[in-house]
Structure formats: C-alpha cells, structure tokens
Amino acid sequence: MADKAAHLCILRYLDETGIPILSEEGQHLPFEVRKEWNRMWVVDPLDGTKEFIKKNGEFTVNIALIENGTPVLGVIYIPVTDILYYGIVGEGAWKEAPSMGRTAEKLPLKQERGEGTSRIVVSRSHMSPETEAYVNEVRRQHPDVELISSGSSIKICLVAEGTADAYPRFAPTMEWDTAAGDAIARAAGRQVVNVQTSQPLLYNKEDLHNPWFLVE
C-alpha cells in the first residue's frame, strides 16, 4: 500500500502543473492517447519493491519530466537515508545528503579513486547471466574490477556521482524505473544508451519496456 499512498501524494502536486502523468501505480493510457503528449511526467512512487520488502533502505522515489521522448529533469529521493539527487539537462546535477549538511554538491563528486580500478555497479536483486558475462569481459581487459551491489535507481545515481564507472542492465526494466536517473545521469555528463544501438534511451514508447542499456 505504500506505493499507492506515495502515488496519490505525488499526484496532488504534479496535477497542478497541467502536464500529463505516467506513473507505475496510475492508469496507463493507450499509446494512441500518449503519443500526443509532447511533455509528460514519468513517476515511480516506490522503485525497488524487493529492497523495500527486505527493509535494506535501497528503495527510491523517482520523478522525471520528459520532452519529446527525452528526459530533461529528474529527481530521485532515498527516504531511509534522506539523500536527494536531482538534475536538469543543460544545467547540471546535484546531490544533497545529511552528511553534506544539506548543501547541494554538483555531480560528479570529487572522489579519491585508485588508479586503474574499474567500478561496476550491479543489481542486488536482478543479476542476470548476461550481466555476469559483461563483468567477466571487463575483467579480461581490466583485471582490477570492483563490483558494487545496489538496489533501485540508486545504481544510476552512483554512476552519475562518480562512485561507479558503469552500470550494465541486461534484464527487464520499465520507463518509470529509469527516466529520473537517466535525466540525472545526462545532466551530470554521463550517458544511458541502448546496448544494441548505442543510442540514448527513448521514452513514451508504445511499448513501455526499456531495451537493455548501459550507463557510463
């Protein structure tokens, strides 16, 4: 019920904008209706249901603004840790956290990194054989590979902030799973691309499933 409650709370604010809303927990209108939307909100009120059930704190609230199929603004909030990521494409992306005194720090963050180390973030709950094959291929090229496991859209944020170098997702996802993180990653100078075409992901498609993608 938490996802439904979050959905209703978010809608109370976004409805005031007059921009149509596509939410995981809302009514999914047919493409014949949606294709007329040049601007739209894409919302996942509770991303990382398995993490929420496990009570490990790795679930998020995702809100994105899409214009002509492209994410231009994204907000991701991690309720348990009170960490907020947000970005506007063309202006930048930022992170706010209690450890930062709620001061917004621009992404990517300045971090101490070991030379030659490649950090790959992978799904805590959806590790696929294809992802394992990707990691093994990277290891053949760069023996010093560190894996970081995380849940929900936090994984995209870890690449956006520079904690990880790549996030391969070779398993099913929906547009509301990635839209906000995609906007934040783009705003931070990263890219989220279709692994088959190497092109940026598109949104408000007839089929709301994402292709396999790579964040780097």
- Give the CATH number for residue 197: 3.40.190.80
Regarding pTM above 0.85, the answer is yes
Domain range spanning residue 43? 1-216
pLDDT confidence tier of residue 215, bands split at 50, 70 and 90: very high
- Pairing mode, strands 83-88 and 70-78: antiparallel
User: Tens of pLDDT along 137-194?
Assistant: 888 888 788 999 999 999 999 999 999 999 999 999 999 999 999 999 999 999 999 9
Give how many domains the chain has, as a whole number.
Answer: 1
